[in-house]
Every structure is written in structure tokens, then in C-alpha cells.
Chain A
Amino acid sequence: MEVNVTVNGAQHRVDVEPRMLLVHMLRDRLRLTGTHVGCDTSGCGACTVLLDGTPVKSCTMLAVQADGRSVTTVEGLARDGQLHPIQEAFKEEHGLQCGFCTPGMMLAAAALLESNPDPGDEDIRWALSGNICRCTGYVNIVKAVRRAAGAMRQTATQAG
């Protein structure tokens, strides 16, 4: 079956088996390996991508369901060689260790900050609760999201 999908702003036409999972299309067909697989029961969030801006678990969606839609993966977070504030903040606050959960974590955080530019710790912890991290104990991830929010608000004020 043919899937027409925009990934990180680029238009793709991919021929897939109807049963192929979105995560496998991204990883194996488009070679976007930043999206990871950590489980097989929708339980970890390592595979999180944004579908028309909303975080989804790409291991729990068929590739064909993405037809006509727009997907953002970790590779699409940076724009014109500029890191996204969330990426900067994850590095600055030591919000990652092995890096395996990080792409999904950052995308879930990006979606949160789209809808809530000034989240409190509870908001952040709730928004990220579909994403498991085994390394960091979350403390620095929460800090990173807060820092990114601050940076993005500042840019927004300057721009406005």
C-alpha cells in the first residue's frame, strides 16, 4: 500500500505492507533511526513521535494510518542547523544519560510546551508519564523542560 506522508517537513511516498508499524517505516524505510523501540506493549514511549503535533507511540500505529498526515521525529526538532531549545536544555541540565529514551522524551516535552508555555513540575511530570527513563530518575529531565520553557517564552516575548 502506498503511504503519502510528510516527515520533518519533507514529502515522502512509501510503499508498505498494510501491517507495517509506523516506527518501522520511519526507522527501516526512511532510515530515521532516532526513533527507538523499547517495548512491545505501548508501555515505554521510546518510540514517541508527533503526528500533526500530537505525541503518539509510533509502535502502536500502522504506517498506513499516517497517510496524508505530518510526522515529526527527533531528527526534525532542530531547524536550519539550530538546535531546538529543548535539545539545548536536555544537554545543559544533564537530562539524558544513555540517550535511548531521549528522542521520545523531548518530543513529548515539545508537545507539552506547544500547549502550555509555562508548565509547573506537576504538569511536566504528568505530560511525560508515558515515557520511561531508566537512567536519569527524571529530576534533570523535569529541570530541562522547565529551562526550555523559559527560553522559549523569552524568545516569544522578544519576537512579539
Chain B
Amino acid sequence: MAVAEQERTVRGIGHSLRRHEDDRFIRGKGTYVDDIVLPGMLHMAILRSPLAHARIVSIDTSKAQAAEGVVAVITGADLAAHNLAWMPTLSGDTQAVFATDKVRFQGQEVAAVVAEDPYLARDALQLIDVEYDPLPALVDPHKALEPDAVLIRDDKEGQTDNRCYHWEAGDPRATDEAFARADVVVTLDTHYPRCHPSPMETCGIVADVNQATGQATLHMTSQAPHAHRTLFAMVAGLPEQNIRIKTPDIGGGFGNKVPIYPGYVAATAASLLLGRPVKWIEDRSENLISTGFARDFHMHGELALTRDGEMLGLRVRLVSDNGAFYADAQPSKCRAGLFHIVTGSYALPAAHVVADGAYTNKAPGGVAYRCSFRVTEASFLIERLVHNAAIELGLDPAELRRRNFIRPEQFPYTSATGFVYDSGNYEAALDLALQQVGYDDLREEQRRARAEGRLLGIGIASFTEVVGAGNHKDYDIAGIKMFDSAELRVHPTGKAILKIGVQTQGQGHETTFAQIVASELGIPPEDVLVQYGDTDNVPYGLGTYASRSTPTAGAATAVISRKLRDKARQIAAHLLEVSEEDLEWDTGRFSVKGAPDRAVTIQDVALAAYTNMPEGLEAGLEGVHYYDPPNMTFPFGTYVVVVEVDPGTGDWKVLRVVAVDDCGVRINPMIVEGQIHGGLAEGFGIAKMELITFDEDGNCIGSNFTDYLLPTSWETPNFECFATVTPSPHHPLGAKGVGESATVGSPAAYVNAVIDALGHLGVRNIDMPVTSAKVWEAIQQASR
């Protein structure tokens, strides 16, 4: 049997296998954190600050303590008594668990009620009396950075202003020289607004601490259970072997479930103090106003070019609005995440990025919302700049991109800010997208439409991402190196369990990881049980975010499968009484060269590994591998969006979305495409409607789904997806990771399309979300 055919019969890599996990979800039999009920379980509700900035004068909990069903009321002072009032953040800052001195954003955690019933816990919150002394709120990061601004973090020793970091990348001198040679400099000032990942399931925990043994079992919505266990051990001073984090099914994450939140710590403390399990499930408003938001970058970009469109240099000045605590989830060396990938898909010889972070009176936790650590902001900026440069130079935006792409033969390519791009063929992806959308005809149609007064726009984004952190030398989170792991146990009957250090939140790991084992070892995917998310059970790993599952744990799975295959070969040689060199491997089967009928299957070998192993060979067919990626992977693609803008109302409708993604080798094409669909929809939401903003007093606007708008099936466009395949040269499977590409790449394509429709009127920018009102306003301004 030909190898390719056999691989298809085991339904391994490349097969659109239907998902194992669906069987429970379609029956309503998933187990999400709120579905967990333990004997004697109590319910916790959190009191939050109504003010954005205020000193706490007093907290009176006596009435709440006396209320029906209330078991305990916990304040910051109670936590402080156990040294738990503050906790470290993922960016090396500190964050209040419950406020003791001041509240620093609206919605900040102040106290909690633990009661027999969730309704009673809520009732009692209203009985807590907090007296506040209001302070001026800082909602503009630029103002926050002014020298005389009121100090938000007066808790931090030595902190004299509201700057939470200053960071630079690239070469300022080389960039200045490039700009001196430029014929044209195109500038863009844009705010990538604060938005929120909003997984359909909010965050929550059931904390179950056994007072007698000190064992803490924490069922929590975590994208990174092991990292959280280590951080918990550090925060709470609990011995790490006594902490077990178990993630139930997770109802979406998109970065929102990467940080540790005060609610987790408070519920754990409550369970420890009360000796009963404590459940805390945040409601949607709590999720929107207090947990990891995304973006909020104020960017100024300058692109230097020659008159015929050669890109010479890029300069970026950005101010990030980090909220009251610097709690971004990102590698510790990267103060603005991986934003310095901002040169994108282009052979830009010089670049310089200067970034400053501001503390403001807003929620903390700049997480990457379906994004690899700020790649989204970077990709948006460069793709918007390129579009505007094309208008300035009178060049077609596709042509301008083509002239400046890093060419296939230039890989591995070292970017001006120090990334080493692994592989790419950007022009092929662009060409396929243009061909699929019918680009030349569309441009013609656009001209005709314009003549009739209709506003048609075509937006392109040719993004490059950087995903799959580490390597360990350059990337760590809170000191923990960014490797990942897989442990494979093949049982005597030839069935297997794979335990991985990453964490699914809907990505389909139970299926795709089984397919990797299937391709590598020939065990059919339905015979491979994939486990994750229980720190007592699976090997240490850094979790799932930044599209790192396949690049890291996927690689670990391939490597451990291959190691077991090597051992299997020794056993097969013993069974067939030949030497190892005389054996041929054909997915799932060793046969003797020249005598294909003399063969053993992987199942035969598995049995022999426990019943009939060769002399001197260790028993069993099991192993674990920790994979330290040699480099990150760089997925890319081109998205083309076609819109029509209504000149009367400013509303814009998406007519077409053509997406070409190159994420290297696709393990399960169906799942890959599903990930791309999701990202294109979230990108559409960000471009058109998702916004968290604040009034001048720091009141959050966007605190529920009637103010924070998410796209529904009605307004979300249809997506046409295509692939090119450029394998990663350093990944054992050639895969690159894909979960976030579409959210990273698509917002610029949507916005470029609207700007393209209005470019001839002189419109050069509309900040996201590009609402009808803003478009209408821009048209009015332009025609004045």
C-alpha cells in the first residue's frame, strides 16, 4: 500500500476528521466550570468599585455579615492579613486582589460575599457600605504621561509618574538615514481601540481546599494551567505539589483566560479559610469591565519610500493604555509584546519603534485577543500605512506590496527589528487571493460604480504573523521558559493516551493531536485519547495562546511519537528475527525489506512491549518529550475584502471576503478553516463595532452586550477561504499555527476597503470601529 494511501486510512495529518469532542457538546454534556457542583459548595460574589479613582475611607461589612445565608464577607484587609491583598501580574507588576488603599478603575474588586446560595450572595453585596473619597480619573494615556498628572500607582515605591514601561526596538540611526533618502513619507495616526475577547463563557472557578491535607483542587477557566499553578504557589505561598489545577471544558478563551484574576485568588482563599468548596462565576458585565481587555494602542507610523514605491524605512511611536496595573500577558523581555514584527511582510531595511506604556484609571490586562502578543496592532499599522502609501504614490496597493515583499529566496530573513522569519512565499498568496476575488474586474467595476456615484472599495492585507513562542532563550512568561510538552503512553492492546501541556478552549486538540500520533505511529485517531488541563496528570507546559499549540506541543507530540517508533522498531526486529536495518516502516506496520508479507503491526509491537520484549530492552512503550522550538513560526496570507459604502448613511456592507492563509502543513484542514472563519468574524467585529470606551470620569461604556457589540450571524459576511502551503523548515511537521491569523490580518483589510471606497474623496483614515456615523462624518468633511 502506498504511504499516502495508508496515511489516509489512519486519518492522520491532512484529513478533515470530524471532531471527537463534539459528541459531548452536541448533547449538552460538556462540563464547563459552572456545571461543577461539589458537596457543601458555597457561592462567592464580588463587590466592585463604582468609581474609577478614589481613596477608600472605610468599609463596613456588618450588615452583610448578618444577612441571610451569608457565611463570610472578605475585604482587602482580610486578605492582607494573609499577605494576599496583592498579587504579581504576568508583566512583573503587582495588582490588587481586593483594593485596600485606593480603587484605581471602575469595576475593581473591593470585597466579596460567600453565601450558601448565589442569589443570597448577590443580595448581601448591596449591604456592604464603602465610603470613597473620589480622586480625579485619568482616562487619556497621553494626559496620564504628563509630568503633573495625579499619580495612580502611589502604592509602588519609587514610582513617580504614570509610565509603566518605556521600550524600543530597531535601529534609530539607520532609520533616520533611510528617511533622509526618502522621496515620500506617509504618516498615519491611529488608535487601535480597546476591545475585549468576550468568550461566550465568562471566567470562573470552583476552589476546593481540603483544610486537613492542604490539598487545593482548583477547577478553573485557564488557558495555561501549569503556569497558573506555579503563580498560585508564588502568590498564595502554597506548596506547589498541593495545588492541582483542573480545567473543565472551556467555552472559548481568545486570550481572556490567560491571566490570573482576583476572583480566582479570593475564591481559593475563601475555600482555604472556610474549609468548603467555593464557586465564583463572573457575570458578563464583570467580564467586560474587569478582565483582560485587548489592544488600546495609540500609534503614530511613518513609512519612507522612494517615488517608485521602494520601502526604505519605518518609524513608529506608540503609547499604550495599560490600565491601572501593568498586567499584559506577554514574554517578559518584550515590553510591548511582539509589536516589533511591525515591518510585516516587507523587506524594510530600517525600522525603529519607540513605545511607552501609561497607567490609566481603566481595567488592567492587555491580553492578546486571538493574537500573538500585540502582532495584531503591528500588522494593522503596517497594512494601513501601505494602503495609504499606495494612494499617495498613485500605485495599485497590490502592486506596491508585490514590489516590497520579502522574496522566497531571502528566507530565513532577519527583519530590521531582529526577528528571523522562517519561510514564506508572500507573492503566491497575494496572487491566489487576487485571482480568486477577480481583482482586475473588480477594479474595473469600481471605476464604473464611481461614475454612477456608488462607493465600492477593495481592501487588501498581506499580513505576516509570528507565533509559537519560545525558543526558551528569548521567551519566558514570568520567568518560566516557553517550551511545551507531550507524553505518550501506548498500552498493550495498542491503544494510546497522549497528555499535552497545552490547553484547548475549542480548538479541537482532542482530534488534531490524535491525528499527529496517527500519522507518526499508525494508531488510528479514535484509539488515541488526548488529555490536557489537569496539572496532576499531564506534563508541564505553558498553555494555549499566541497560536502556540501546534508549533510547540504539536512538535513535542511528533517527536515523542518518533521516539516510540524507534523503540517499536527494535521490538519489531526482535519479533521478526531480523535486524532493524532490514525493516521498512509504513504507517503502522514494520515489514521485512523484500518480503512485505513478513510484517508486524504497531499493535503487535505494543503488546510485545509488555509481554515479549527483547533481552536488555526496557519494558513498555511510553515516553515524554519537552520541545523547545528553535525559532517561532511565521504564518502569513493575503485577505481581500470588497465593500460598498452607502454615501447617504455611511453604512458599509461587506460584499466579499477572500482569505488565503498559509500556515504551513495543515493537520486537520476542516479545523484550520474553522479557526480562520472565527478569526475573520472577530476581525470584522473589531473593525466595525467592538469598542470599550470610557467617559471623562472613567465610567466604562461597553460593559454589556447591548453596549459592547459583537457580530451576529446577520451582519457577519460569508467567507471564501483558500490555502497555499509553505512548510516551516524547523517544525517537525512543517506546521506553523493558525488560530489567530485571521484576527491579526483581517481588520486592516476591512478598514482598507472602506478607505479605498472613499480615497478619491480625500479620506485617508477612520479609526476603528469604523461605524456608519464615522464614515458618514468623513464623507461630509471630505465634500465640504
Chain A residues touching B, majority SS: loop
Q: Are A102 and B26 in contact (CB under 8 A)?
A: yes
Q: Are A38 and B200 in contact (CB under 8 A)?
A: yes
Q: Are A141 and B25 in contact (CB under 8 A)?
A: no
In chain A, what residue has the closest Cβ to B283?
A40
Q: Which residues, 686 to 729 on B, are CB-close (under 8 Å) to A?
A: 704-706, 710, 712-714, 716, 718-719
Q: Are B710 and A132 in contact (CB under 8 A)?
A: yes
CA distance A129 to B37 in the complex (A): 32
Min CB gap A68→B, angstroms: 24
Q: Are B716 and A99 in contact (CB under 8 A)?
A: no
Q: Are B251 and A98 in contact (CB under 8 A)?
A: yes
Q: Are B678 and A134 in contact (CB under 8 A)?
A: yes
Known pairs A96-B22, A128-B713; A37 contacts B678 (CB<8 A) = no
Known pairs A91-B19, A94-B19; A134 contacts B710 (CB<8 A) = yes
In chain B, what residue has the closest Cβ to A105?
B713
Q: Are B200 and A43 in contact (CB under 8 A)?
A: no
Q: Are A75 and B201 in contact (CB under 8 A)?
A: no
CA distance A137 to B680 in the complex (A): 7
Q: Which residues, 469 to 518 on B, are CB-close (under 8 Å) to A?
A: 505-508
Chain B residues touching A, majority SS: loop
Q: Which residues of B contact A92 (CB under 8 A)?
A: 18
Q: Are A97 and B716 in contact (CB under 8 A)?
A: no
Q: Which residues of A contact B29 (CB under 8 A)?
A: 34, 75
Q: Is B167 in contact with chain A by the CB < 8 A criterion?
A: no
Known pairs A46-B200, A134-B198, A134-B678; A96 contacts B18 (CB<8 A) = no
Q: Is A30 in contact with chain B by the CB < 8 A criterion?
A: no
Q: Are A43 and B19 in contact (CB under 8 A)?
A: no
CA distance A70 to B648 in the complex (A): 48
Q: Is B23 in contact with chain A by the CB < 8 A criterion?
A: yes
CA distance A103 to B19 in the complex (A): 17
Interface flags for B268-298 (1: CB within 8 Å of A; 0: not) read 0000000000000001110000000000000
Known pairs A41-B705, A140-B674; A35 contacts B713 (CB<8 A) = no
CA distance A148 to B34 in the complex (A): 30
Known pairs A83-B26, A91-B26, A139-B677; A36 contacts B201 (CB<8 A) = yes
Q: Which residues of A contact B750 (CB under 8 A)?
A: none
Q: Are A99 and B21 in contact (CB under 8 A)?
A: yes
CA distance A78 to B28 in the complex (A): 10
Q: Which of B25, B251, B681 lies in contact with A138, CB distance below 8 A?
A: B681
Q: Is B250 in contact with chain A by the CB < 8 A criterion?
A: yes
Interface flags for A124-160 (1: CB within 8 Å of B; 0: not) read 1110111111111111111000000000000000000
In chain A, what residue has the closest Cβ to B31?
A33
Q: Which residues, 49 to 100 on A, are CB-close (under 8 Å) to B?
A: 73-75, 77-78, 83, 87, 90-92, 94, 96-100
Q: Are A36 and B22 in contact (CB under 8 A)?
A: no
Known pairs A19-B119, A97-B674; A134 contacts B28 (CB<8 A) = no
Q: Are B705 and A135 in contact (CB under 8 A)?
A: no
Q: Which residues of B contact A33 (CB under 8 A)?
A: 28, 31-32, 34-35
Q: Which residues of A contact B716 (CB under 8 A)?
A: 125, 137-138
Q: Is A5 in contact with chain B by the CB < 8 A criterion?
A: no
Q: Which of A31, A37, A43, A129 lies in contact with B714, CB distance below 8 A?
A: A129
Min CB gap B743→A, angstroms: 10
Q: Are B507 and A97 in contact (CB under 8 A)?
A: yes
Q: Are B681 and A137 in contact (CB under 8 A)?
A: yes
Q: Is A14 in contact with chain B by the CB < 8 A criterion?
A: no
A interface residues, tally (CB under 8 Å)? 57
In chain B, what residue has the closest Cβ to A107?
B28
Q: Are B32 and A100 in contact (CB under 8 A)?
A: yes
Q: Is B30 in contact with chain A by the CB < 8 A criterion?
A: yes
Q: Are B251 and A37 in contact (CB under 8 A)?
A: no
Q: Which of B26, B283, B284 lies in contact with A90, CB distance below 8 A?
A: B26
Q: Which residues of B contact A44 (CB under 8 A)?
A: 200, 284, 705
Q: Is B679 in contact with chain A by the CB < 8 A criterion?
A: yes
Q: Is B252 in contact with chain A by the CB < 8 A criterion?
A: yes
Q: Which of A75, A130, A133, A138 lies in contact with B27, CB distance below 8 A?
A: A75
Q: Are A17 and B119 in contact (CB under 8 A)?
A: yes
Q: Is B670 in contact with chain A by the CB < 8 A criterion?
A: yes
Q: Are B200 and A137 in contact (CB under 8 A)?
A: no
Q: Are A96 and B25 in contact (CB under 8 A)?
A: yes
CA distance A35 to B35 in the complex (A): 10
Q: Is B350 in contact with chain A by the CB < 8 A criterion?
A: no
Q: Are B200 and A96 in contact (CB under 8 A)?
A: no
Q: Which residues of B contact A134 (CB under 8 A)?
A: 197-200, 252, 254, 678, 682, 710
Q: Are A40 and B704 in contact (CB under 8 A)?
A: yes
Q: Are B705 and A39 in contact (CB under 8 A)?
A: yes
Min CB gap B633→A, angstroms: 22
Q: Are A100 and B27 in contact (CB under 8 A)?
A: no
CA distance A96 to B716 in the complex (A): 16
CA distance A44 to B706 in the complex (A): 10
> Which residues of A line the B interface, CB within 8 A?
17, 19-20, 27, 31-41, 43-44, 46, 73-75, 77-78, 83, 87, 90-92, 94, 96-103, 106, 121, 124-126, 128-142
Pairs A–B under 8 Å by Cβ, sample size 23: A20-B119, A27-B35, A33-B28, A34-B30, A40-B283, A40-B285, A41-B704, A43-B705, A75-B27, A91-B26, A97-B506, A98-B250, A99-B26, A100-B32, A100-B251, A100-B506, A121-B718, A131-B713, A134-B197, A134-B682, A136-B677, A139-B718, A139-B719
What 8 A-B pairs are tightest by C-beta distance, nearest first?
Answer: A34-B28, A98-B506, A43-B705, A99-B25, A100-B251, A137-B677, A137-B681, A74-B28
